[in-house]
Structure 1
Amino acid sequence: MVCPETSSDEPLTPAGRLFLQPETDVVIHCIIRGKNPADMDAIKSAIKSSLMVQHPRFCSLLVRDKNGFEHWRKTPIDIDQHVIVVNNRLDKSGNFIDETQGSTTTEEDDEAAVNQYVADLSVSSPLSTDKPLWELHVLPAHKCAVFRIHHSLGDGISLMSMLMANCRRTDDAEALPKMVPDKKTVIKGEKGRDWFWLVGVLWWFLKIVVFTLLFSVEFVLRSLLVSDEKTAITGGDGVELWPRKLATAKFLLDDMKLVKRAVPDTTINDVLLGMVSSGFSRYLDHRTPNALHEGLRITGVAMVNIRPQPGLQDLSKLMKSNTKARWGNKFGVILIPVYYHKGSNDPLEYLKRAKATVDKKKHSLEAYFSYKIGDLVMSLLGPKVAL
């Protein structure tokens, strides 16, 4: 939508402009499952009175001035334009089921149907710029809803913080969901051994300097010059338009904790990365046996929240313009290498390698470096060069 700029328009941030480019047009999909059938009147009433529609990003149109620069412009919200109801039941292929002929579905069938519905949305249904860039698709027959939000409106931390601020506890309808408090590590020196403490601090600082320098140089080289070898999971030209399949895998948290305890000082994230590494190796062994060399690298990326406060944020603080914990896209990127190991039968080896990698990343400022570089390139050269 091309419109003359007005004094009340707010320009997009560099990250917001990046997410609106055709090559990186990113829409976040959040699936919400419920126990009871959806009450549409109650849902619409809750949205109208929620903090979400009071937030400037959720009640603003995306407009472009005559020079092509994007701005946010306040507009009245029509809830009926944003809440889309799909009354028919879907099958595993995303097609409507004729329920007059009778059919029996299981929870797994419902899950597969919703997954396919979201997979189809992600390719065939971009968000319209004729209204603020969010939608809520309600599927009453499957007792779920799909929240669609354009990434230019905010990152995962911002959006999850807003979602949690609109939820209440089942045991107390007036209370916000309780979050697990962050663990704080306090370094203390022992009496008579302060020099040990000083050596530890110096060693910690040296590791930050070395790993930051190492990973920052690697980030630049892999962004500009170095690429991974092609494998069965490498996408081709136009991969963003290929048909998609969304699959859901469930893992018991108790099982993951059991694996976590098998290797000292590991985290759940280490276990997840180990599972991904093991899964890739097994998949590539199955698809292209004897075709890949040992130690082949597959580079993934992980988004890291770089706000001063880790974890979910206080929404009232996020919505203030004069706070460091601001709303929007405030994250950096770190490169996560995953290595192919032929015929490895010990899953814990993948966990140990994942832990070693993540431990080094935690001692670097790579995420801050990538954020600053991306912000600088976007501000000075624009999204075309940044891509």
Structure 2
Amino acid sequence: MTSQISPCNHLLLRSSCCTNSIAMAEQPVSPVERLMKDLYVVVSIGLATPLNLAVFRAGIEAQLARHPYFRSIQVTDDKDDGGSGTPRWVPTTVNVDDHIVVVPALDSAADPDKAVEDYLASLSTLPMDHTRPPWDFHFLDVTTSEAASTVALRVHHALADGMALITLLISSSRSAADPAKAAPLPPLPARTGAVYAPPRQQRRPGSSSSSALGLPLVLAWVWSYLVLAWHTLVDVATFVNTIFFRGDTETLFKRANHGGDGADDSHRRMRFVHRTFSLDDVKFVKNAMNYTVNDVLIGITSAALSRYFFRRTGDTKTREIVLRSILPVNTRPAASLQMDVNMIETGKSNAVRWGNRLGYIILPFHLAMHDDPLEYVRKAKQVIDRKKNSLEMHVVHLSIDIVFKVFGPKAGAYIFNKLLRNTTMALSNLIGPPEQIELCGHPVAYIAPSVYGLQQAITVHYQSYNNTIKVVLAVDEAQFPDSSQLLDDFAECLKLTKDAAAKTMSTKMIKNE
């Protein structure tokens, strides 16, 4: 028990030292955050030990509640009373006990995994009290197949996006191998510049290298930016077309029976299911094809959705069906996670980019029947490379700000909701700690983030942690009563893709001999 208490005592000392340095002035709620009115994040955290509630509560009080946004509520002045009518974040007093829900004993004798899953699904229909900071912890002291106990953090999406929550988690944790040390940070991203930046060898005209190579390099540099401009124009036009005119084809993945303007769709009960894969398996395919982890994951997603679709529909045609996903993209600097954690460690929480810093991309997915499992990954690679060579995310992010300022929040909300209803799904991928961490004295077995409140029937999240990767599905349980079979499809597609990559590598080795 001593080893559990000491990390939280450490946090309490740090909290008492930093209390005076974290006062936050009132801040306006950003346009992106105002779009998150009905959206909530649910992070299921499996613990490797039974729950010690007193220790965990002390950790919450010392660490989580001290961050500025997590001590604030949204307040809007009434225009009739001379106010601006613009919501803003206002600091308030936090009583941690108001944010803790201890779940009584569940009927888990038959299937504890199902009992925990059912409880998490119930969170998608429970209202949250917005007169206090919109976050709460739910403690389930039930042993499941993956964890000795489970903690669920529910947060209003306006309070934090995925990257902010990962930053919060890491800064609140310690190394499980040595609790005296800080939690291990993910490796720095390989790319330090913008995603759309031309390759390094294409240097700006006028440098010594470009002078040596002459006109061909200058033309290549100019051409790269012409292509970037063209792709951006096409993507922005597609974005506008999606909002006002063109919705996705109705498939079994598209949310059915929109109620009028779709207002009721965001309140449907969602079920959160997840499966753990080996990150080494994903990296094996990545290395075999010389692609990225993202390329492989999107390819696996396309393969799994295709497998599920053709089995459910009985369609045997080899035609391709295109459905589209909303892909939120972090607009912070590439190394922001490492920088923000370091700022928190040095008592500079106010400088951290909390809230939502997101842009959006429309990502096409192809449902098809391919004999070669690697073809799904190749297709994904083509789509992702094309999207990387575009300023779509930045233009959309800027457009949201302009729409709010010129036409008001109702216009912004209309556009955002139409975008969600006219696409099929949402997809997100987050990188987590590379080694096991300890949260308030409890070793973490897994991290499974998800979201509810979208006008979509399915959301796919990927979360890496401790050499594993978790696929998390949030599905409309009325539309996907067989969500566990869809998870099986993800597992089978990863296996088939890995086997195909292994055969490819073996063939290359034989040829080289």
TM tier, shorter chain? 0.7 to 0.9
Secondary structure, counterpart of 2:337 in structure 1: coil
How far apart, CA to CA, are the structure 2 residues paired with 1:10 and 1:260?
Answer: 43
Structure 2 match to 1:285: 310
**Alignment RMSD:** 2.6
Q: Which residue of 2 aligns with 1:140?
A: 141
Q: Which residue of 1 aligns with 2:187?
A: 180
- Judged with a 3 Å threshold, the aligned counterparts in structure 2 of structure 1 residues 127 and 231 are, in CA distance, closer, same or farther, namely same
Matched, 1:352 2:378: yes
> Does residue 259 in structure 1 map to residue 258 in structure 2?
no
2:156 pairs with one of 150, 155, 169: 150
Matching residue within 252, 259, 262 for 1:232: 252
TM-score w.r.t. length of structure 1: 0.83
Bigger CA drift: 176-185 or 370-379? 176-185
| Letter of the 1:224 counterpart | F
Residue 253 (structure 2) pairs with residue 222 (structure 1): no
Q: Paired residue for 1:84, among 88, 97, 101?
A: 101
Residue 201 (1) aligns with residue 228 (2): no
Which amino acid letter does the alignment assign opposite residue 92 of structure 2? T
Structure 1 residue 229 displacement after superposition: 1.2
- Residue aligning to 1:131: 132
Equivalent positions of 1:16-95 (< 5 A) are 16-20=33-37, 25-50=38-63, 52-67=64-79, 69-88=86-105, 90=106
Post-superposition offset of 1:17: 1.7
Change (3 A) 1:113 1:345: farther
Alignment partner of 2:174: what SS? coil
CA offsets, 1:218-256, max 9 Å, x none?
111112211111112221224333333222123222222
Q: Secondary structure at the match of 1:249?
A: strand
Indicate how the Cα distance of structure 1 residues 311 and 269 shifts in structure 2: closer, same or farther if over 3 A, else same.
farther
Corresponding position of 1:365:
391
CA distance in 1, matches of 2:338, 2:164: 7
Range with greater deviation from structure 2 (9-18 or 326-335): 9-18
Structure with the bigger RCO (C-alpha within 8 Å, sep 6+) is 2
Q: State the distance in 2 between where 1:70 and 1:158 align.
A: 21
Q: For residues 269 and 111 of structure 1, do their structure 2 counterparts lie closer, same or farther at Cα, with a shift above 3 Å needed?
A: farther
Letter of the 1:243 partner, please give it. Answer: R
Structure 1 unaligned residues grouped into runs of 5+: 1-7, 91-95, 98-102
The total of aligned residue pairs comes to: 355
1:268 aligns with 2:293: yes
Structure 2 gap ranges (5+): 1-24, 80-84, 144-148, 193-198, 202-208, 259-263, 415-513
1:366: Cα distance to partner?
0.9
Paired letter, 1:275: I
Structure 1 residues 179 and 233, CA gap change in structure 2 (3 angstroms): closer
Q: Which residue of 1 aligns with 2:357?
A: 330
Distance 1:211 1:110, change over 3 A: farther
TM-score, normalisation: structure 2: 0.64
- CA deviations on 1:122-143 (whole Å, 9 max, x unpaired) are 1x11221122100011112241
Q: 2:339 matched to which residue of 1?
A: 314
Distance 1:176 1:197 in 2: 45
Amino acid at match of 2:66: Q
Compared CA separation, residues 16 and 313, structure 1 to 2 (3 A):
farther
